[in-house]
Chains A and B, each alone.
Chain A
Amino acid sequence: MANSQIVRRRIHSIRNAARICKATEMIATARMKRAQAQATAGRPYADKIRQVVSDLALQPGDNGDIHPLLQRRDATKIAIIHITTDHGLCGGLNANQNHLVASSILEQSVPVTLIVIGRKGKGFARTTRRDTYAVFTGISDSPRLQETLPISRAIINGYSKGDFDLVYLVYPRFTSTIKQTPVMEILLPVKPPPSPTPQAREYLYEPLPDVVLAELLPRFVEMQIYHAILELKACEQSARMVAMRDASDNAHELTQSLTMTLHRLRQENITREICDISGGAESGGSDELYEGR
């Protein structure tokens, strides 16, 4: 009897867990749609600014000065921007990111400092005792550009001051709902993307091209960081949705098999009781029992 009690309790607790998983899944589904829409809404700006930067990079500089953000330096210190989620329950998303960062740190021959975004990455940096330059947490689910500007400014400032000579950006790329690929890109120095239209268009620049470029480059960096964060948000929600769906399916299976066990136990008990009764009746000849019926 005690045994079936335990099984009953387990079924109960699994059902409760399944309910929570289901709810989390539904919330993640709704948020994922919003996050995906947000990630695609900024694409025209991203495409345009990329094209303008590549056009401008083709322009010969007037005095041969290269903008600091474009200048290649010998790397004596490298920074890696590690973008993770604030919350867990999203499958292997953060583990994959951590893995990529950890393995790329091992590849470098110079000291590496981490710029961490998200609580999960913060935990990773602490447990693996990595040198961290800055930590940012608590970015909302549908971030505005404004929210990410302090991050971008800190990175641009650090680079200009020479705190690091090369900056990598590591973030999960949203390939599909069930697939997120960790990617690693060079953020600084800015490498102008190859121009899709090879002929440099004859533009009138007002003021001079270098001035426009100098204004444009920080925004280009800000845009890249903002987009990486948007990608993360879309990945987070879809990874959570998939993980929670698996979890609630699993819980369903478990309750089914436990219910089977419960019924088997219950039947066994009944059989045993009947055996006891009929055994008792045969041996004892207690007529009272029959009369009692």
Chain B
Amino acid sequence: MATFKLEIVTAERMIFSGDVSEIVAWGTEGQMGILPHHVPLMTILRPGDLLIKKGEEEQYMAISGGFLEVGLDKVVILADACERAGEIDIERAEAARRQAEKTLKTSPSKTATAAAEIALRRSLVRLKVARKKPHR
């Protein structure tokens, strides 16, 4: 089984480091999968779920934006924030979703609406990932 090295880092700490066989992430142009020997690539990540596969083993993470770099020998994800499925506080994510929806409805200004949209997307991603059963 061909694998490649994946590192997920945030400004605060290293979240993940290990060999994986496939990842699926949300790029600017939509969902994309990365397999071993991908051409060197640098892209912006949108808030979304990230699927990490190692053979049959699957693991989900929630990423709230960042960058993905495919190098010659390894893939690095520079995440703004990243949580493993097990780490997500469902209640907090739910509260954040309600807050964002409320702001969207009342929407005092354009920038507030845009910020609320991003917040909504982030909380939805968290909820989605949290409800997927972590395969470990």
* Bound Cα distance from A46 to B43, whole angstroms: 18
Asked if B1 is an interface residue, CB under 8 A from chain A, the answer is no
**When the two chains form their complex, are residues A41 and B41 in contact, meaning their CB atoms are under 8 A apart?**
no
**When the two chains form their complex, are residues A48 and B78 in contact, meaning their CB atoms are under 8 A apart?**
yes
* Bound Cα distance from A48 to B69, whole angstroms: 10
Count of chain B residues near A, Cβ 8 A? 23
**When the two chains form their complex, are residues B9 and A48 in contact, meaning their CB atoms are under 8 A apart?**
yes
**When the two chains form their complex, are residues A44 and B42 in contact, meaning their CB atoms are under 8 A apart?**
no
**When the two chains form their complex, are residues B12 and A144 in contact, meaning their CB atoms are under 8 A apart?**
yes
Q: Which residues of B contact A (CB under 8 A)?
A: 7, 9-14, 27-29, 39-44, 67, 69, 71, 76, 78, 80-81
Count of chain A residues near B, Cβ 8 A? 27
User: B42 touches which one: A144, A205, A219, A226 (CB < 8 A)?
Assistant: A205
Contact A42/B29 with A48-B76, A203-B41, A205-B42 known, Cβ cut-off 8 Å = no
Q: Which residues of B contact A223 (CB under 8 A)?
A: 11
User: Which B residue's beta carbon lies closest to that of A201?
Assistant: B40
**When the two chains form their complex, are residues A206 and B41 in contact, meaning their CB atoms are under 8 A apart?**
yes
User: Which A residue's beta carbon lies closest to that of B17?
Assistant: A44
Question: 5 other contacts beyond A206-B29, A212-B42, A219-B80, with CB at 8 A cut-off?
Answer: A41-B14, A42-B12, A56-B42, A206-B28, A206-B42
* Bound Cα distance from A132 to B84, whole angstroms: 42
**When the two chains form their complex, are residues A204 and B40 in contact, meaning their CB atoms are under 8 A apart?**
yes
Contact A215/B13 with A48-B76, A205-B43 known, Cβ cut-off 8 Å = no
**When the two chains form their complex, are residues A45 and B9 in contact, meaning their CB atoms are under 8 A apart?**
yes
Asked if A52 is an interface residue, CB under 8 A from chain B, the answer is yes
Q: Which residues of A contact B42 (CB under 8 A)?
A: 52, 56, 203-206, 212
* Bound Cα distance from A42 to B43, whole angstroms: 21
Q: How far is the CB of A59 from chain B (nearest CB, A)?
A: 10
Q: Which residues of A contact B43 (CB under 8 A)?
A: 205-207, 212
User: Which A residue's beta carbon lies closest to that of B45?
Assistant: A215
User: Which B residue's beta carbon lies closest to that of A45?
Assistant: B9
Q: Which residues of B contact A254 (CB under 8 A)?
A: none
Q: Which residues of A contact B12 (CB under 8 A)?
A: 38, 41-42, 45, 144-145
* Bound Cα distance from A286 to B34, whole angstroms: 110
Q: How far is the CB of A150 from chain B (nearest CB, A)?
A: 13
User: Which B residue's beta carbon lies closest to that of A215?
Assistant: B44
- A-B complex: 4 closest residue pairs judged by Cβ atoms: A41-B13, A206-B43, A45-B9, A204-B41
**Can you spell out 10 A-B residue pairs with CB atoms less than 8 angstroms apart?**
A42-B11, A42-B13, A44-B9, A45-B10, A45-B78, A48-B69, A48-B76, A144-B12, A215-B44, A219-B78
Contact A204/B39 with A212-B67, A215-B67 known, Cβ cut-off 8 Å = yes
Q: Which residues of B contact A49 (CB under 8 A)?
A: 78
* Bound Cα distance from A44 to B9, whole angstroms: 7
Residues of A197-211 whose CB lies within 8 A of B: 201-207, 211
Q: How far is the CB of B58 from chain A (nearest CB, A)?
A: 25
Q: Which residues of B contact A201 (CB under 8 A)?
A: 40, 71
User: Which A residue's beta carbon lies closest to that of B28?
Assistant: A207
Interface centre among B9, B14, B40 (most CB of A within 10 A): B9
* Bound Cα distance from A44 to B29, whole angstroms: 27
Q: How far is the CB of B40 from chain A (nearest CB, A)?
A: 5
Interface centre among A46, A56, A203 (most CB of B within 10 A): A203
* Bound Cα distance from A172 to B127, whole angstroms: 41
Asked if A236 is an interface residue, CB under 8 A from chain B, the answer is no
User: Which B residue's beta carbon lies closest to that of A205?
Assistant: B42
**When the two chains form their complex, are residues B44 and A222 in contact, meaning their CB atoms are under 8 A apart?**
no
* Bound Cα distance from A202 to B40, whole angstroms: 7
Residues of A35-59 whose CB lies within 8 A of B: 38, 41-42, 44-46, 48-49, 52, 56
